[in-house]
Amino acid sequence: MRKPIIAANWKMNKTVQEGKSFSTLLPADTSLYQEVEVVICPPFTALQAVGEELKGKGIKLGGQNLYPMEKGAFTGEVSPLMLQDLGCTYVILGHSERRHLLGEKDEFINQKVKAAFAFDLLPILCLGETLEQRQKGATEEVCHQQLQGSLKDIEAQDVAQMVIAYEPVWAIGTGVHARPADAEKTIACLRQVISKEWGEEIGAAVRIQYGGSVKPENIREFMSCANIDGALVGGASLKADSFYQIVRGAREGSE
């Protein structure tokens, strides 16, 4: 039985003060957060403040990116050691905005995945097809390539611990979510690829989220799919109320 996991990706939103007030407004529902793992990924500038505010609530903290070196002359970058130092458990890697707006390729993402594990951070590895790729019928091929490229030479026990987020690019921030049955089909295929590459046990253990216009109204349907273990939430994670409703919906949907 895989534990559901809901992660908030705040992207480039919220000042320190806004991050703190979100954390105060989020109900201290520790029994819910024991059943559904909850991760908040604020911008780097608010990580420490939000982390302090969330202490004792049973909610985990994540970074939105890292640079694959411990330290050094990399102006403007943030290292895995720095994220670990602030108490992060997770780090989002390979998000489509970084792949498409900033040109990140699988090889570079693979270096980041390795750097994350080296500092005990669990990657939330994002992948997904563009609308054009989908229309060409290339969804599964694109996702397999991204998965294999980003996870090259990663050990089975590490794959079992991490999280994959299947996020069709056309569904991110558009209000148009994938049909749950379509997301389920792609995610089931990803699970098969993982089973083939790292073994059945790993394929059965790894948690795979859906992401792209997830809201309180649609989370239950995604969570009722056998292979979908949670969601990576952008827009609807910015308000404590809607995010809390998504976490509650995730519990109900997975029951």
Please provide residue 227's backbone torsions phi and psi, each rounded to the nearest 5 degrees: -100, -5
Among this protein's residues, is 100 annotated catalytic?
no
Out of 41, 46, 232, 247, the residue judged to bind ligand PGA by CB under 6 A: 232
223 counts as binding ligand PGA under rule CB under 6 A: no
Residue from 172, 187, 225, 246 binding ligand PGA (CB under 6 A): 172
Asked about 107 being catalytic, the answer comes back as no
| Phi, psi torsion values for 177, nearest 5 degrees | -85, 160
d(CA 133, CA 142): 8
Question: Which of 110, 139, 146, 213 touches ligand PGA (CB under 6 A)?
Answer: 213
Cβ–Cβ under 8 Å, residues 60 and 89: yes
Stretch of 47-55, 98-106, 195-203, 228-236 lying at the interface with ligand PGA (CB under 6 A): 228-236
State the Rg of the chain over Cα. 17
CA dist 228 → 45, 101, 233 (Å): 31, 27, 14
Does 124 participate in binding ligand PGA (rule CB under 6 A)?
no
DSSP 153-193: T--HHHHHHSEEEE--GGGTTSS-PPPHHHHHHHHHHHHHH
Q: Is 64 in the site for ligand PGA (CB under 6 A)?
A: no
Give the range of 58-66, 83-91, 156-164, 209-217 binding ligand PGA by CB under 6 A: 209-217
Does the protein bind ligand PGA through residue 233 (CB under 6 A)? yes
Cβ 169 to ligand PGA shortest distance, Å: 9
Q: Are 159 and 151 in contact (CB under 8 A)?
A: yes
Q: Which of 4, 68, 235, 249 binds ligand PGA (CB under 6 A)?
A: 235
Contact call for residue 93 and ligand PGA (CB under 6 A) = no
Q: What is the dihedral of CA 111, 233, 247, 85, to 10 degrees?
A: 40
For residues 221 and 226, give the distance between their C-alpha atoms in angstroms, rounded to a whole number: 11
Catalytic residue among 53, 95, 104, 184: 95
Q: Which of 43, 180, 234, 249 binds ligand PGA (CB under 6 A)?
A: 234
Q: Tell whether residue 203 is a contact of ligand PGA (CB under 6 A).
A: no
Helices and strands (H, E) in the chain, number of each type: 13, 8
Cβ proximity to ligand PGA: between 115 and 165 the closer is 165
Q: Which residues are catalytic?
A: 95, 167
**By the criterion CB under 6 A, which residues form the site for ligand PGA?**
9, 167, 172-173, 211-214, 232-236
